[in-house]
Amino acid sequence: MRKIRCAVMFALCGCAVGAPVAAQPQAAGKTVVIKAARLWDGKSDRVVTPGVVVVSGGRIQAAGAGAAVPAGAETIDLGDATLLPGLMDAHVHITGEGTDDYRQAYVDAQQKPIAEQAIEATAYAKTTLWAGFTTVRDLGSGHQMDVGLRNAIRNGKAPGPRILVVVHALGATGGHCDESGHRQGLFPETDVKDGIANSPWEYRAAVRLNHKYGADAVKVCATGGVLSLTDAVDTPQLTPEELNALVDEAHALRMKAAAHAHGAEGAKRAIRAGIDSIEHGTFLDDEALDLMKARGTFYNPTLMAAQGLRERLARAAAFPPAIREKAVRAAAALDETVRKAIAKGVRISFGTDAAVYPHGRNAEEFSELVRLGMKPVDALKAATSVNAELFGLADRLGTLEAGKLADVVAVPGDPTADIRATQRVFFVMKDGVVYRNDRAPR
């Protein structure tokens, strides 16, 4: 998303989400034992009883029903709950949030100081962490706010999830990731420095620039989009040669590449180029899904984005007609595509497009996936071990195992039986630090 159009792209579902007050952060150096009635480790098909996780030095020392409890360790007993690995969202826009007024959002994007936007982003980050999401991948921000927020959180200056950033989302002139919808000459034309490219070599340069300025991953808009004014939602926007160059350059720099792709043709070009994940995939056909299955491409359907669109359409009159038509069409098509992807065994990752709906509701994606045919335990894997693999972090995150970083969340009851329990997170630990514990003594 481009810097001018960023807030317009987020012009959905502007209701506020309150975050509960955190428990005092727990010092990461001491040994802490977390106990609960159950534990799900991020990779198994069932919970174990009881749940025990031993944490020291920010890492898990032992986990499981039989984990030995060291003498003198501090114990946190969470009672009738299930311990889970820290949840991961593979598609967020954490530096903005939608409103119900599309045109006002366009104005705000140009008038609100960057410092103010950055401060607001820290609130969205905290809300996301409080919801149990300890790692997220931000797939489009402006003015390097994503880089600054990532660094501030990493350096302990603000509470929030671990963030993987893309710096600029990349795209073609006039495409979904370009600044469009205003008269020519009003703003300087975008080019490679803004992530806008029009040849294989320009895409290589754009990837290198993002890497230079701190990108952890690459995002490209391979097709049109819903919330952009000047393109059809499903048209391909890059040539096969451009996508080949982009993916090759990203992988050479050891970065994963994600493709925003609603339309089947643009998605297939990206899949054949070796893209790591397809985002949205609204109009994927059988050939595209079969290619993804054969190549192991991850599919991130972002069902909560569709839910945000439905909510927006139901209550907002200020939606431009061209965008309203695309939103109706996309929301109507996505469910059937996801049902087919699940039935075919395509690898589903967990991502929500947070900001298209209010931050903090990320866990509602679980029940959307289950509604369309996923088993609850597979939906949980999508947000833990599967996303850890997609991110290239499976050696550090995604499961409750000895040696992994101590990201642990707790929910009441058993989420493998009632997936909506994920919407009631009450305990959050990241890197061995407790940021939320609603059951702590007051």
Topology given in CATH for the domain delimited by 32-85+400-437: Urease, subunit C; domain 1 (2.30.40)
Please check whether residue 112 is in contact with residue 83, taking contact to mean a CB–CB distance below 8 angstroms: no
**What is the chain's mean pLDDT, rounded?**
91
Section 127-156 average pLDDT = 97
Q: Kindly state the percentage of the chain with pLDDT values over 70.
A: 93
HSE on the CB side for 400, CA within 13 Å? 31
Domain coordinates of the chain in residue numbers? Answer: 6-18+87-391, 32-85+400-437
E-assigned strands of 236-280? 256-261, 277-280
Identical fold for domains 6-18+87-391 and 32-85+400-437, yes or no, is no
| pLDDT tens column, 307-364 | 998 888 888 666 788 888 888 899 899 999 999 999 999 999 999 999 999 999 999 9
Of the ranges 10-14, 22-26, 438-442, which one carries the lowest mean pLDDT score?
10-14
What pTM did the predictor assign?
0.93
In whole angstroms, what is the distance from residue 346 CA to residue 105 CA?
36
Q: Are strands 32-36 and 51-56 parallel, antiparallel or unpaired?
A: antiparallel
CATH class of 6-18+87-391: alpha beta
CA distances in angstroms from 247 to 87, 177, 218, 438, listed in the order given: 27, 17, 9, 44
Q: Kindly state the percentage of the chain with pLDDT values over 90.
A: 76
Please check whether residue 370 is in contact with residue 350, taking contact to mean a CB–CB distance below 8 angstroms: no
Of the ranges 177-186, 274-283, 298-307, 419-428, which one carries the lowest mean pLDDT score?
177-186
| pLDDT tens column, 196-227 | 999 999 999 999 999 999 999 999 999 998 88
